Amino acid sequence: MRRYGTTPGRPEEYRQEGARAVRPRDAATLIIVQAGEEPRILLGKRSMKHKFMPGKFVFPGGRLDYVDQRVKVSSELTKTVLTRLRRETRSDVTDAKLRGLALAAIRETFEETGLVVGRPSTDKVQTTSQSWSQYFAHGVVPPLEDMDFIARAITPPYRTRRFDTRFFMVHDSTIQSDPAEVSSASGELLDLHWLTLDDARETDLPAITRMVIDVVEERLKIPKSKQQTEPAPFVRNAKSKWLTSTL
C-alpha cells in the first residue's frame, strides 16, 4: 500500500470536551486540477464563524442532500470508480447514495464557487432544488464519467460535528464557465484561489486536506487515462488509533 507523507495528528487532539460519539454525516468534496506547467488546485478559506474547521483552507464540498440521490441525469460513474466507492461501506449505503455523493460534490462546488463543472447537454432535467435548477440552466449535466474517487476520511469520534467524506477529483477540461471567475456565492468559502500544490501546502490546511494533496500529486504522475484505476486511501479512527486502508 502506498503511504502518504502526512498523518492526521494525534487522536486526542480531535476530542472535544463534552462531545458524545455521533454518527458521521455523509459528505463529498471536489478537487479540480487546472492543467499547466505546474498544476493548480482550487482552495478556499472557511469563515472563522464556522464551528467546523474555522479559518482552514479546504476544497469545495459539503453534506449530501436527499435531492442529490434523486436527481436523474444521463451520465454515470465509471464501473471502476463505483466499485471502489462500494468498498467498506455500510449495508444501507446504496449505489444511488454513492452516485449522490459525486453529485453533491458538483452541486456544492457550484454553490460555493460559482464554477460550472459539467459537460454540455440538451437534456431537460426535472428537479425541485433551486441549486440544481440554476446549475442545469447552464446547459450542462454533471460529468460523472470523468470523476475520480481518490480518498475517503471519517472525522474521529467525540467531535461535535463528524463527516464521512469522499474526495473526488476532476480536471479543468470539465469546467464550462470561466475558471478565473470564482466567487463565494454561498459565503461558505472565502479567499478562493487556484494554487500550485506547493503553494497550497503553505496555507493553513487540515491534516486530511494536506494528505489528499499528496494523493493528487501521486495521481498526476500517471497518464490521465489510468488515474481512475488507482486506489484510494481510507482514513478513520478506532480506539484512539488511526487506521488507513486502501479502497
CATH number at residue 28: 3.90.79.10
* Residue 172 DSSP SS3: helix
Assigned C-alpha cell, 207: 491534516
**Has residue 68 been placed in a domain?**
yes
The per-residue pLDDT for 195 is 95
**Has residue 141 been placed in a domain?**
yes
Which helix (H) or strand (E) segment holds residue 112: the answer is helix 95-113
pLDDT digits (tens, 9 = 90+) for 29-58: 999 999 988 999 999 887 545 555 556 889
**Has residue 37 been placed in a domain?**
yes
Measuring CA to CA, which residue among 121, 134, 77, 128 is closest to residue 101?
A: 77
Q: How many other β-carbons are positioned within 10 Å of the β-carbon of residue 6?
A: 18
pLDDT digits (tens, 9 = 90+) for 68-106: 999 999 899 999 999 999 998 888 889 999 999 999 999
**Has residue 12 been placed in a domain?**
no
The mean predicted confidence, pLDDT, of the chain is 86
Number of H helices, E strands in the chain: 6, 11
**Has residue 228 been placed in a domain?**
yes
Q: How many other β-carbons are positioned within 10 Å of the β-carbon of residue 181?
A: 10
Tell me how far apart the alpha carbons of residues 138 and 48 are, in angstroms, rounded to a whole number. Answer: 32
Domain that holds residue 104: 23-246
Supply the pTM of this predicted model: 0.88
For residue 148, pLDDT beyond 70: yes
What does residue 83 show for φ and ψ, rounded to 5 degrees? -60, -45
Q: Which residues pair with 141 in a beta bridge?
A: 119
Lowest-pLDDT choice from 6-10, 188-192, 202-206, 226-230: 6-10
What is the amino acid identity at position 211? M
**Has residue 17 been placed in a domain?**
no
For residue 187, pLDDT beyond 90: no
Stretch 169-192: mean pLDDT? 82
Q: Which residues pair with 34 in a beta bridge?
A: 40
What is the DSSP secondary-structure string of 144-204? GGG-EEEEEEEPPSS-SS-EEEEEEEEEGGGB-S-TT----SSSSEEEEEEEEHHHHHTS-
The per-residue pLDDT for 55 is 63
**Has residue 119 been placed in a domain?**
yes
**Has residue 152 been placed in a domain?**
yes
Domain total in the chain? 1
The per-residue pLDDT for 93 is 85
Widest CA span of the chain, in angstroms? 52
